[in-house]
Amino acid sequence: MVQRICWTLRVKPDRVNDYRESHATIPDYYRQALSDAGWHNYSIFMMPDGLIIGYLETDDWDKARQVMFARKDIYERYSLEIGDKMKDAFIWGPEGQPVEWQNIHPCEELVFRLD
């Protein structure tokens, strides 16, 4: 059974273009790592006010998450490539910046879907 996974975050209004540019050309190695981990139909949407909505599908979220979490080399390489472009670009809630995968979770309640 396919699990639908979602996440949200907010980019500061003056940093929306930075976010857009940093995602304009995701490197092939990063795309491959996501695919190898079982992430499918992964999409990131950006609203005009800086709200970011991420969505993906996977057969086993626990496994997909663990595989990507173990690939610290991928994150480090990509972080070096984009440099400080996204530093201080996000607006975090009162609880602060999420730790690891804290803000990525299975979609809770499906209220409507048209197949």
The superfamily CATH assigns to domain 3-87 is Dimeric alpha+beta barrel. (3.30.70.1090)
In angstroms, the CA 28 to CA 71 distance is 15
105-106/90-91 β-pairing: unpaired
Helix (H, G, I), strand (E, B) or coil at 82: helix
Domain boundaries, the chain: 3-87
When the pLDDT of each residue in the chain is averaged and rounded to a whole number, the result is 87
Count CB neighbours of 32 within 10 A. Answer: 11
pLDDT tens digits, residue range 17-60? 988 988 888 999 999 999 999 999 999 999 989 999 999 999 99
What residue type is assigned to position 112 of the chain?
Answer: F
